[in-house]
Amino acid sequence: MGFAQWYDEKLAPRFIQCACSSPAIMKMREKVVPLASGKVFEIGCGGGINQQLYDPAKVTSFAGMDPSAKGLDYTREAVARKGWVADVRQGFGEAIPFEDESFDTVVCTFTLCSVCDTAQTLRELRRILKPGGRLLYAEHGQAPDPGVQKWQARIEPYWKKVLGGCHLTRPVSSAVAQQGFAVNVLGQRYAPKMPRFAGWMEWGEAVKTG
């Protein structure tokens, strides 16, 4: 195993888990995860960070998926502590191994930045949602300010190598709206105490239409 593979499989998941559970990021998660209800699917569930935020009185079943085997180890530990019976699988967002119209709610937090194909992943999330189902998202992405955008573009090639393919320049809410969702943007802002190139946050609720 070369260093790059070792880093991606062993070290990167620990680094990502730490970065994605920082106080600023947790505040964003807290704005959407407790809204989940019914049959819930979480994409990018590796690390189990959101487990503490789900309301067990609202959630009737939980399923999740992540490409990282190490990240899923953390998830299963968190699920066990919560006492849930969960269907947690390894996989990629571009080909989600669940049936059409299986879930009432999909939770997507700080995940769209690292999938290979954002549009295809969002199409898959829409596919597995029931009619009228909700996609709850909290993501970082392309900043609205041109000066910040320039720095995002400069830093992104190096950022991706360190943080598991994480992109800085991807639109968030507009990308969700383009894939058949009626988007209610609940908030947009730069996260405090984070560098602006990595700190533009958007969170919202998107309903499957059509």
C-alpha span between 135 and 154 (Å, rounded): 31
Q: Which ranges in 63-140 belong to alpha helices (H)?
A: 69-82, 118-128
Our count of domains for the chain comes to 1
Confidence (pLDDT) at 173: 97
3-state class of 46 per DSSP?
coil
Owning domain of residue 128: 3-208
pTM of the model: 0.91
Residue 115: CATH number of its domain: 3.40.50.150
Task: Give dist(CA 28, CA 33) in Å, integer.
Answer: 9
How far is 112 from 22, CA to CA, in rounded Å?
Answer: 18
pLDDT in tens, the chain (210 residues): 554 554 455 555 555 555 667 788 899 999 999 999 999 999 999 889 999 999 999 999 999 999 988 889 889 999 888 888 899 999 999 999 999 999 999 999 999 999 999 999 999 999 999 999 999 999 999 999 999 999 999 999 999 888 888 999 999 999 999 999 999 999 999 998 899 999 999 999 999 997
Phi, psi of 182 (to 5 degrees): -90, 110
In the block, residue with structure tokens 């559970």? 21
Residue 12 DSSP SS3: helix
Say what the pLDDT of residue 7 is: 46
Indicate the DSSP class of residue 191: P
Look at residue 18 in the predicted model and tell me its pLDDT: 58
